[in-house]
A and B are shown apart, each in its own frame.
Chain A
Amino acid sequence: MCLATRGLVNSFGNVNAVLTIDSSIVRAIVAHARRDHPDEACGVVAGPLGSDVPTRHIPMDNAARSMTFYEFDSMEYLRVWREMDDRDEEAVVIYHSHTATEAYPSRTDAAIAGWPDAHYLLVSTREPDSEEIRSFRIVDGVVTEEEVNIVDATVKS
């Protein structure tokens, strides 16, 4: 059961205060987070440049293999980013899981976040039978929550 939490939407200075994402991708992200639980899981959803539409789910290794920390493996990161470049894609969504705390960016998440144009999606797997899914913009360390609009069929399966 997926529970998308509606966050406070602040549209000042942020014209895209919503993440629209296909339900099949959300299910795949949740499955990845469950599979790696209790370690944190991480990955990307790529989409066509400038589209703001996430279409291609890429689960990534958590090089830290930790319950409280995640980091993209540096070589996988380079490979995936080059592949997106070749396909005229960008990282529309960057996601990771929190496995014992809420789906809200930690100070660490906010301090390190380096892609101001990405939607930072967090999934909490602390409850065994439901997931909290929330999305944020993180720009210069400032976290702004946005609405998550889960839809069917933006992606052909």
Chain B
Amino acid sequence: MAIEVRVPTILRSYTGGSKVVEGAGESLSALIDDLDAKHNGIKGRLITAEGGLHRFVNIYVNDEDVRFLGALDAKLKDGDSITILPAVAGGALGFAAAAALLGR
């Protein structure tokens, strides 16, 4: 068994067009490393240079937002289903102000 990962359109350039890929790892962090080994570059779209989850990417383990499960430390097990969705956000506020407001 493995962990199923549902990939949004915008990241499918890394997965050869696949909508669903498989990965392994005991934590979200380990899973992302495993995905990056198979789909080079995808990690950079999920994790910032500082090593945290990108503010504008939503990742879910089964039905839960990983932000409520310890973020990159979220524990995973075989059979879990991961869904990645790019945040839908924006607005009239300037980007720098928005990022500051959101503590990015």
- A interface residues with partner B (beta carbon < 8 Å): 40, 42, 64, 66-72, 74-75, 77-78, 81, 94, 96, 98-101, 105-109, 111-117
Contact = CB atoms under 8 A, between A and B. Distances in A.
Interface of B: 8-10, 56, 58, 60, 63, 65, 67, 83, 85-95, 97-98, 101
Interface majority SS on B: helix, strand, loop or mixed? mixed
Contacts of A70: 89-91
B60 to A, nearest CB: 6
A12 B90 CA distance: 26
Contacts, number: 96
Contacts of A67: 92
Nearest to A94: B88
Given A96-B91, A109-B91, 17 more contacts: A68-B97, A72-B88, A74-B67, A77-B58, A78-B58, A78-B63, A78-B65, A94-B88, A96-B90, A98-B91, A100-B92, A108-B93, A108-B98, A114-B10, A114-B85, A116-B9, A116-B10
A72 B89 contact: yes
Contacts of B63: 78
A50 B76 CA distance: 34
A74 B68 CA distance: 11
Contacts of B58: 74, 77-78
B9 A115 contact: yes
